[in-house]
Structure 1
Amino acid sequence: MITRKVRKWEKLPGKNTFCCDGRVMMARQKGVFYLTLFLIIGTCSLFFAFECPYLAVNLSPAIPVFAALLFLFVMAMLLRTSFSDPGVLPRALPEEATFIEMEIEAANGNVPAGQRPPPRIRNVQINNQIVKLKYCYTCKIFRPPRASHCSICDNCVDRFDHHCPWVGNCVGKRNYRYFYLFTLSLSLLTIYIFTFDIVHVVMRKYPVLVCFFTLWSVVGLTGFHTYLISLNQTTNEDIKGSWSGKNRVQNPYSHKNIIKNCCEVLCGPAYPSVLDRRGLMQEDSPASETSPPSSSSMNSVPQTTKTTAPLIPNEHTPDDVKPSIADSAEKTPSPKEEESPAPKLPPLASPETDAETSIIKDKAH
């Protein structure tokens, strides 16, 4: 077995992709994100190429400068939203999952055959409101309040708002403010370009084709999220009607004040990532069978055989088992002994040879 150190992002479950040694985290479906980049860069390029030269000369050179600054801010917020960890919660380790399962079984007891087990829910109290924590069968954890499992990224996200294909990532606790600033700045940039397009048309006195879909869709999205921020809600909670259902349960996260809600969402502390995706971990991988054995391993085998398994078993220590210099000298013949032949010994007589010798002696007598 060969032990090597790898980054934790290489072994993280889910359907996310990582770049730049784990610093960039996105969803696998990034086709719409590239379309977003193309639309923003293409629209601004046309504006800078055709409208800005005429407007800078005839109106003010500050028009293209402000448009460039706004464009850079839009791109920064887009990339910050797309490349950051939205608040993915780590899955339970095998030991933790086993312990949680034992707790659930002990609390629910034995369920008779044919009956459905009770839902795995824990109740917590937040601002005098009972909030249910649901159990995630994929991540093997009880999700924190406002967290949800994204089916596209296959991960639980803290304060899950929605999965946005336009930014190629989930929108959650750690990147929601950047997403909102992206939509807000993009709305301002769209209105800015649209306004000076109209000015350019009036001054040049010729018709141009203006796309209204981009203007109203982006501005409408910004207005919707402004409404959610003022109530301290998420898109997921608004769609499910978590705080406006039949029970009329009040939102326990709202401060009953628009300014306080906006300050908490947009100006609150930046939460660190809990994934530690750039941390190191050890991985054991089997050694290749085709690799030739090293010289150190070849030398170690005979030494192990000599010390642990002597040829002649005895009660001596391993040092006594090793042949001494004198013994090796006795076993090794000298050059003189090799030159002089050894004396031949008479063969041993067998019983049949003795019988024939006695018969010859009798005939001679």
Structure 2
Amino acid sequence: MVKPKKVYQSWKGNNKFLFDGRLIFGPDAKSLIVTFTLIVVPIVLFCVFVASNLAREFTTGTTGYAILVLAIVFTIYVLILLFSTSTKDPGIVPRNSHPPEDVLGYDSSASIEVGKPLPRTKEILVNGLPVRVKYCETCMLYRPPRCSHCSVCNNCVERFDHHCPWVGQCIGKRNYRCFFLFVSSTALLCVYVFSVSAYYLKLLVDDYGTVWKAIKVSPASVALMAYCFVSLWFVGGLTGFHLYLISRNQTTYENFRQRGLRGDNRINVYYRGCMNSFLEVFCSKIEPSKNNFRGYVHEEAPKMTSKGGNIQVTDVDTSDDDRRVKVEDDLEIGDDLMKISQRRNSQDIGDIRGRGSDRSPISRSELDFGFGLESQFSLRSESCHSEW
């Protein structure tokens, strides 16, 4: 017996899974190695060449060791946030195996395979205002509000913000909080390393008298300051930008689309105040994933139609073919009967013209046959044969 596959093994998106589907990554998960290196290597240099020397400078108390321990703990916290952002389901909407039936619009008097085309968009109400949602042909569903299809991961993601190559994952409804905490914590870590390195360089200047001698003693301090200064422009600017988005209850995708396509005067139907927006991001409960990646794939049961028939959702469906063959056979039989009736009528008319007034009156059965009442004619024929 073939063992059924699990959901993550037959997943149609571009995601990568580890540990039996417990961890989900984007297709560019290798970029995590680069991000990890950009965080860990500077911290190692900081602990070896700056924090450890400061611990020796402060001979009394535990201030020097506290600086070292704080850097290590803060770095571990940032890496945990990075790992959580990259391995969590961002809010993937499960795709359908067939188009939604509630909008197919099948005609009850027509064949089962004939239906109205799906509308490309439909409108729903959000906070009393109409919002147009699009139909996704890949996932075969109407996207929920604020949902978009990520071309990199090939999934529809709820409250889609953007696809971040640095974490190798989409940023959506379920991992946006971790992503913002990761970016803002990385910015604070840059500020911390820059400040402590500058303080250590100042102590060296006081000891050696000039800046150049201090730089020769600890070139790592200058390198760390320059690295943190450049990095802070990216992670710090990103933190400020997302603080603005949170205050407006917007996503990066919505903001760019609004500015690029529809101007700045469009009403944000999701805005309910600055305080409520921050509470929604940081204090609301994260919904569980809608995908059970470790569950087994089950075949869909037959679906009942309004006529009481069954439609089996499979790759090959021969029920419709048999039905069409039977209909075609019935039509061919009807055509043959019609031809026979027309031939019989033409013969009768010829006999009438040839015999003139000597022709006997036309029988009732022949009139019935001529008007297409084949069933009555067949019944009468059978009764005649039974008498003989």
> What TM-score, normalized to structure 1?
0.69
Instruction: Name the count of aligned residue pairs.
Output: 268
Deviates more, 1:244-253 or 1:263-272: 244-253
Q: How much has 1:168 moved relative to structure 2?
A: 0.6
User: Structure 1 residue 62 and structure 2 residue 66: aligned?
Assistant: yes
> Counterparts of 1:41-56 in structure 2 under 5 Å?
41-56=40-55
User: Structure 1 residue 225 and structure 2 residue 225: aligned?
Assistant: no
Distance in 2 of aligned mates of 1:131 and 1:98: 19
Secondary structure of 1:3 counterpart: coil
CA 1:235–1:98: 2 relative to 1, 3 Å: closer
Distance in 1 of aligned mates of 2:45 and 2:8: 40
Tell me the alpha carbon deviations over residues 298-348 of structure 1, each in whole angstroms, 9 at most, x when there is no partner: xxxxxxxxxxxxxxxxxxxxxxxxxxxxxxxxxxxxxxxxxxxxxxxxxxx
Q: Which residue of 2 aligns with 1:190?
A: 190
> Counterparts of 1:332-351 in structure 2 under 5 Å?
none
RCO comparison, higher one (Cα < 8 Å, 6+) = 1
> Counterparts of 1:128-167 in structure 2 under 5 Å?
128-167=128-167
Greater share of residues in helix: 2
Q: Do the aligned residues in 2 keep the contact of 1:4 with 1:282 (CA within 8 Å)?
A: no
Ranges in structure 1 where 5+ consecutive residues have no aligned partner: 107-116, 284-365
Tell me the alpha carbon deviations over residues 190-220 of structure 1, each in whole angstroms, 9 at most, x when there is no partner: 1000111111111123222322221211111
Q: Which residue of 2 aligns with 1:271?
A: 287
Q: How much has 1:247 moved relative to structure 2?
A: 8.6
User: Structure 1 residue 238 and structure 2 residue 255: aligned?
Assistant: yes
Q: Please tell me the residue identity of whatever aligns with 1:271.
A: E
Distance in 1 of aligned mates of 2:298 and 2:13: 20
Q: Please tell me the residue identity of whatever aligns with 2:256.
A: I
Q: Which residue of 2 aligns with 1:81?
A: 85
Q: Which residue of 1 aligns with 2:14?
A: 15
Tell me the alpha carbon deviations over residues 202-246 of structure 1, each in whole angstroms, 9 at most, x when there is no partner: 112322232222121111111111111111110000000179935
Aligned residues with identical type, % of pairs: 39
Secondary structure of 1:240 counterpart: helix
Q: How much has 1:248 moved relative to structure 2?
A: 3.1
Q: Which residue of 2 aligns with 1:40?
A: 39
Deviates more, 1:139-148 or 1:27-36: 27-36
- Compare CA radii of gyration and give the structure with the larger one: 1
> Counterparts of 1:280-291 in structure 2 under 5 Å?
280-281=296-297
Q: Which residue of 1 aligns with 2:266?
A: 249
Q: Please tell me the residue identity of whatever aligns with 2:173.
A: K
Distance in 2 of aligned mates of 1:90 and 1:64: 46
Distance in 2 of aligned mates of 1:174 and 1:37: 22
Q: How much has 1:119 moved relative to structure 2?
A: 5.6
Ranges in structure 2 where 5+ consecutive residues have no aligned partner: 108-116, 206-213, 216-221, 300-388
Q: Do the aligned residues in 2 keep the contact of 1:243 with 1:251 (CA within 8 Å)?
A: no
* RMSD (Å) for aligned C-alpha atoms: 2.1
Q: Do the aligned residues in 2 keep the contact of 1:8 with 1:276 (CA within 8 Å)?
A: yes
Secondary structure of 2:104 counterpart: helix
Q: Please tell me the residue identity of whatever aligns with 1:214.
A: S
Q: How much has 1:151 moved relative to structure 2?
A: 0.3
CA 1:227–1:247: 2 relative to 1, 3 Å: closer
